[in-house]
Amino acid sequence: MAKQYDVVVAGGGSNSLSAAAYLAKAGMSVCVLEKNEVIGGGLVCRELTVPGFKHEPHATGLIIVMANPMIKNDELELKSRFGLRFFTPEKTIATVYDDETWMSTCVSLDKTCESIAKFSNRDAEAYRAFVTRVIKMAPLLSGAMFKPPVPYGQFAMMLDQSPLGQELLRGMMMSCSAILDELFENEKVKIHFMKWMGIFLLHPDERGTGLMFYSATAVAHTQEESGVYGGVQAFSDALGKCIEYHGGEIRTNTMVRKILVSGGKATGVELDTGEQILARKAVIGCIHPHLLGDMVAGLDPDMVDEARRCELSSHSGVMTHWALHEAPKYKCPEVNDALLVQPVPSKLADLKQIFDDVGNGLMPKRLASIVAHMTVHDPSRAPAGKHTLYFFSFAPKILRDGGWTPAARDRVQEWMMQEYSKYCTNMGPENIIAGMSESPADQNEWSPSFAGGDFMGIGMFQHQLLGRRPTPRLAQYAVPGADGLYLTGPFMHPGGAVTGGGRATAMKIMEDLGMDSSKHMAL
């Protein structure tokens, strides 16, 4: 006899786990199925180099999820009951330039403006005025973020009703570069923000990327950007504990081959072993839009085709991890204790060239990186006195002329460390115990959500945001033609990064089942 639950969840990433946790807490029997040996997807922490050194292969610094009522209001008791703890250094994202200068965004707007003023008083004042306006827009942004999206046209119409909304709408249609050019005169100030926004994996000249600058700066000064004590696996494990506490089950090393559909209704899943697991009320799938037609038979071919045409981001990156004797010491020691550090060139043209190159399938000649040394804040992740280094640098999704072979990846890993050591005083071979790397292809191997190494799932282009993400027909998490099938993943609203977006999927399921979701989550 096939096992049966109220809800079966295919995929154990942070989005699926949060959806499952809300539904389990609301009294449903839930079973989560994860193909990897651990739950968490892109929110894991593992010994990747040598025993005793715990690395976060993917997500490390968390910000969007900190604004989600799941964390902010502790709706799932992850902090109060299941042991989740965060730390927030003062400098959240610092930039080190190749001419040994630096600047930093801090949670404090005053401190950020002080940092900008080292380069330009005028830019510091422009930023203060911009953020003061943007913070007033924050309810418009965060109000839309953690529940099912309103249709795109309706959202635009709502924004169009007030001057602040109209400004945001304008920003949504502009490129990040154009907004930075409008606001700032100093090129290093522009570089700091442009590099940061590049983490959304689009070229900053792309129209529509202006929204990232609005939402990132709104969140940066109203929310703490944080690391997780013990590593981000503790976050996924807290979600897992919450599910199990409320009677749910989790199975790892369990690959879902397809979603079962009968008479237009999703009835469960089939594993690659042939075993079937049945669902009475809902099936949740972390199914990339490109794979929807392969995983679910009998859907409208136009809808499947539209999903298959979802556009991936412009670039990706190579991730490297290092076990170190000492934490990196920068030539600008002021950034040694930042949560995240961006080593970059000091010329805007060089940074733009990096975006051009990676978008064209070429390895850039310079680093545009994001680095974290979490053991500075959380020594529990390494043997006493030792350190870890998380070091990601932009790279093409598919490397031209040969692709991401292990040899190509290893060459890039070596080059990255050579370049990085120029920003530091102690990153020679004597400080390195071991290193490893993951190419975009390896990231995709770990999770099918990261198609071609696109960890946004699909590009955060305007045509794939809000009520158009991934497509207008699929944006409400439900899959037309397979009643009871719902989607989670970075390719769904609110998008890539750790967001706790599964909360919105759970909200939609509760509403479809006639339950009062406000009993389980603030609206």
Burial pattern 248-273, b for ≥16 Cβ within 10 A else e, equals bbbeeebebebbbbeeeebbbbebee
Instruction: Choose the binding region for ligand FAD from 70-78, 203-211, 275-283, 484-492 (rule: CB under 6 A).
Output: 484-492
Is the distance from CB of 390 to CB of 56 less than 8 angstroms?
Answer: yes
Judged by beta carbon, residue 58 or residue 188, the one nearer ligand FAD is 58
Total site size for ligand FAD, rule CB under 6 A? 36
Binders of ligand FAD among 265-294, rule CB under 6 A? 286
CA atoms of 15 and 450, how far apart (whole Å): 14
* Residue 369 engages ligand FAD in binding (rule: CB under 6 A): no
Cβ at position 196, least distance to ligand FAD in Å: 12
C-beta neighbour count of 408 within 10 angstroms: 18
CB of 317 or CB of 431, closer to ligand FAD: 317
Instruction: Please name which of 84, 82, 54 lies closest in space to residue 66, comparing C-alpha atoms.
Output: 84
CB of 27 to ligand FAD, least distance (A): 23
Nearest-approach distance from CB 505 to ligand FAD, in angstroms: 10
Q: Which is nearer to ligand FAD, 118 or 257 (CB)?
A: 257
Question: What DSSP designation does 483 have?
Answer: B
Q: Residues 210, 174: contact at Cβ < 8 Å?
A: yes
Q: How far apart are CA 41 and CA 89, in angstroms?
A: 25
Q: Does 252 bind ligand FAD (CB under 6 A)?
A: no
Give residues 295-354 in contact with ligand FAD (rule: CB under 6 A): 319
Residue 164 makes CB contacts below 8 A (sequence gap 6+) with 133, 136, 137, 140
User: Number of helices and strands (H, E) in the chain?
Assistant: 17, 16
> Which residue reads 């590593």 in tokens?
231
Is 469 near ligand FAD (CB under 6 A)? Answer: no
**Residue 39: helix, strand or coil by DSSP?**
coil
Q: Does 235 bind ligand FAD (CB under 6 A)?
A: no
**Going by DSSP bridges, is the β-strand pair 86-87/340-344 parallel, antiparallel, or unpaired?**
unpaired
Among 9, 21, 30, 59, binds ligand FAD (CB under 6 A): 59
**In this chain, which of 42, 149, 268, 470 binds ligand FAD, going by CB under 6 A?**
42
Candidate residues 29, 31, 34, 206; the one interacting with ligand FAD per rule CB under 6 A: 34
Q: What angle do CA 230, 231, 235 make, to 5 degrees?
A: 100
Query: Binding segment for ligand FAD among 79-87, 115-123, 156-164, 496-504 (CB under 6 A)?
Result: 496-504
Closest separation in Å from C-beta 491 to ligand FAD:
8
Q: Which of residues 440-459 bind ligand FAD (CB under 6 A)?
A: 443, 447-450, 455
Contact range with ligand FAD by CB under 6 A, out of 30-38, 109-117, 135-143, 349-357? 30-38
Which is closer to ligand FAD, CB of 174 or CB of 283?
Answer: 283
In terms of C-beta density within 10 A (0-12 exposed, 13-18 middle, 19 or more buried), how is residue 512 classed?
Answer: middle
What is Dmax (Cα atoms) for the chain?
71
The alpha carbon torsion through 288, 292, 296, 298 (nearest 10 deg) reads 170
> Binder to ligand FAD among 193, 235, 392, 477 (CB under 6 A)?
392
Compare residues 423 and 450 and give the one whose CB is closer to ligand FAD: 450
CB of 508 to ligand FAD, least distance (A): 15
Q: Which is nearer to ligand FAD, 199 or 521 (CB)?
A: 199
Q: Please report, as residue ranges, which positions from 85 to 104 form the binding site for ligand FAD (by CB under 6 A).
A: none
Which are the contacts of 18, defined by CB distance < 8 A and separation ≥ 6?
A: 70, 76, 239, 500, 501, 502, 503, 506
Verify binding: residue 484, ligand FAD, rule CB under 6 A. Answer: no
CB of 114 to ligand FAD, least distance (A): 26
Six-digit token string for 2:
């096939």
**Footprint of ligand FAD (CB under 6 A):** 10-16, 33-36, 41-43, 58-62, 255-256, 286, 319, 392, 443, 447-450, 455, 488-490, 496-498
